[in-house]
Amino acid sequence: MKKIFICGDSFGCPDLGWTIDPWPVLLANQLGADYTVTNLSISCASNLLIRIQVDQAIADQADFVILLGTTCTRSQGRVRDSDQPHTALYDRFVRVGNTNDNAHKRDLACYSIPSLDETCVFDKSDIAVIKDYQYRLFDLDLAIYENQCIIESSLHTLKQHNVPFVFDQGGFENAIFGNVRRTDYFAEFDQHRSQINQWTLSSYLPNANMAHFHITDPAVHAQIADYYQTIIENFC
């Protein structure tokens, strides 16, 4: 049985209020009994958390990985008043938007710098500290380069471990934000680049939830699932 892993942010997993099957669920159903699909994606994941997901997938002997990149304006930290941390870094992160997850058993969480508000899992006093820190010290050029290095580390690690993968650059330096620094990021991995960038795709869809860049059209999710199914079956 082939092990398929999805590593990413909210584009790889449903958030609160979803009433349709997202593409990872459709993909698992379409691949059938010869495959297992493990979805490690977490809403609001930073590229560092996605890198941690990649480590988890490799440790679990993945046969194929779908990697979804995200924006460089996300970071992570310790959540106040948490219980004892788990050993594995991945298990320490709060599953944002998952009503079945007990956040108090996890002590780390990601946050989006433009969305430091009541939607953030950190408490108000910590949010105030994070805002002060980010607004005083955040530098976009540094963040872009840092996240470029993190994403490159994920891709190189997958190649080093001979794990086939497909890579969606996602929100990292996406042209939908305007004034991107470069258009040739990760050129050495072009053969692994997905033809679908979900952040770009969602920006063109009239029925997308633009507040979270989520794709809400079931037909589009079906197209994404079909696309990845074809790639996986060709590799596995």
Higher pLDDT: 153 or 89? It is 153
Average pLDDT over all residues of the chain: 90
Is the pLDDT at 99 greater than 80? The verdict is no
**Percent of residues, the chain, with pLDDT higher than 90:** 65
Q: What is the pLDDT of residues 163-217, one digit of tens each?
A: 999 999 999 999 988 888 888 999 999 999 999 999 999 988 887 776 566 888 8
Evaluate whether 231 touches 166 at the Cβ level (below 8 Å). yes
pLDDT at res. 194: 98
Q: How confident is the model at residue 95 (pLDDT cuts 50, 70, 90)?
A: confident
Q: How confident is the model at residue 84 (pLDDT cuts 50, 70, 90)?
A: low
Mean pLDDT of 143-163: 98
pLDDT at res. 121: 85
Q: What is the pLDDT of residues 127-147, one digit of tens each?
A: 999 999 988 999 999 999 999
pLDDT at res. 207: 75
Question: CA 56 to CA 40: how far, in whole Å?
Answer: 8
pLDDT at res. 3: 98
Structure tokens, 92: 């320490």
pLDDT at res. 101: 61
pLDDT at res. 153: 98
Range of 97-106, 133-142, 158-167 with top mean pLDDT: 158-167
Which of 35, 58, 37, 48 shows the shortest CA–CA distance to 8? 48
Q: Where are the domains of the chain?
A: 2-73+144-235
Structure tokens, 95: 């599953």
Is the pLDDT at 83 greater than 60? The verdict is yes
- Domain covering 2-73+144-235, topology: Rossmann fold (3.40.50)
CA trace torsion 71, 178, 198, 192 (10° rounding): -80
Cα torsion angle, 228, 229, 235, 236, sign: positive
pLDDT at res. 82: 59
DSSP run (H or E) holding 234: helix 218-235
Which of 40, 24, 47 shows the shortest CA–CA distance to 185? 47
pLDDT at res. 210: 61
Interstrand relation of 108-112 and 74-78 (parallel, antiparallel or unpaired): antiparallel
Structure tokens, 175: 């042209």
First and final C-alpha spacing in the chain: 10
Could you write out the DSSP letters of every residue in 131-169? Answer: HHHHHHH--HHHHHHHHHHHHHHHHHHHHHTT--EEEE-
Structure tokens, 20: 């349709």
Is the pLDDT at 59 greater than 80? The verdict is yes
Question: CA 97 to CA 120: how far, in whole Å?
Answer: 10
Is the pLDDT at 97 greater than 90? The verdict is no
**Beta carbons within 10 angstroms of residue 61's beta carbon:** 10
Question: CA 16 to CA 22: how far, in whole Å?
Answer: 12
